[in-house]
A and B are shown apart, each in its own frame.
Chain A
Amino acid sequence: MKGLKIIVLAKQVPDTRNVGKDAMKADGTVNRAVLPAIFNPEDLNALELALRVKDTIPGTTVTILTMGPGRAAEIIREGLYRGADGGILLTDRAFAGSDTLATSYALSQTIKEMGKFDLIIAGRQAIDGDTAQVGPQVAEKLGINQITYVEEILQLEKSGIKVRRRLDNGVETVKAPLPILLTVNSSAPDCRSRNAKLLMKYKHARTVTERQDAAEDYLFLYDSRPFLNIQEMTVSMIQSEPDQLGLTGSPTKVKRIENVILQAKDAKRLTAADEGINDLMKELIDSHVIG
């Protein structure tokens, strides 16, 4: 089988896994200044799946597509360190304030500019919004098939792909023709570490904007090492309707944000006998915690 062209959708997110008391600002928005920006965890699972295809099918290329502010170029570097072949940072003020609809619109319009592809792989959802909408919406907008909650690619041939999905109540094996979009669960294999050589090779990789902004010492490198140029795309480089972009293109409006503090107020004492355990099981099933 000849090499595939894979696009990985990835997002830079605030690390909400270790939230302290300053995580939210008084106005209810995320205080990005105190939370480190990281590669969205399930997007790393998506990248690993893509890299495994690359490992087994020679000639496969993996391109990372991310939308975000200039600093999101770090996501592309992190991808390059792990074996991605290249990346595109989609960045423009016009995209600011995008909800999932506007984001998937911008991403799908960009993908249309990227030429033919075989696979798009994305994380199931990002830890800052937890919507799990962008992947499926991109597939819809591109008019291609999608399989969500993927855990493992079992078979990949010209005729199609067979994957295992991890669902709440079990696993499911499904087949579909290419091209296709997959969204990947965190139950998929962890992403590999950065590779020492790739890390040293790409550590100076920068977008044009980064090179202008930063006091870079190694500017002379970019002509002799073209792979250090991270491609940046702006709104003018894609076909788009302005009213579908950014805040204007985002029907989602945040009405109110509440701090929910989970507290166990009523302690319940159970007996170690069968009866107590049976009661607990019954209660958990009734409240749909299990079952």
Chain B
Amino acid sequence: MEQSALEKLYHQYFNKTYRTAYLVTGDHQMAEDAAQEAFFKAFSNLDALRDLNKFGSWVNVIASNYAIDMLRKKKKMIFTDNFAVHADRNPGNSPQDAWEKNEEAQEIRDALLLLEPEEREILVLKYFNELSINEISAIVNVPQGTIKSRLFRARKKVRKLLQPKKQ
């Protein structure tokens, strides 16, 4: 049976959208729900889209917003001030290069986990989806200045969490 245009579009962008949502939530079930909701909303509001080439970016941002909402509903904050201690007490470096590389990647992943969901979202959109500040701003309908300051804060936090490791 021939695929409809909608179905083709769905299969074309599903993987990236799912991954975007997963990177924000870190949870498969939430990622799946967020991706499905995002496609449903995007398809239901196709009138709002003027350029089909932007569909991918658009649906990814919608998915990340849904992911944030889901996190907010489920999230319980326990220890907001003591992340540094967690980051500090990771195992030390190994002399092996490969191991060090894995360790570094792990440290970055840990640092990303310690970010607020909104901060993680902006980094995912910027560095995984490779969207510019203009594009993010246009899609989420938030002023560029706000996006910039969120990005600044997120980077600053990541840098602060990673800094002691780079001595």
Q: Do A and B actually bind? A: no
Which residues on B are within 8 Å of A, measured CB to CB? none
Which residues on A are within 8 Å of B, measured CB to CB? none
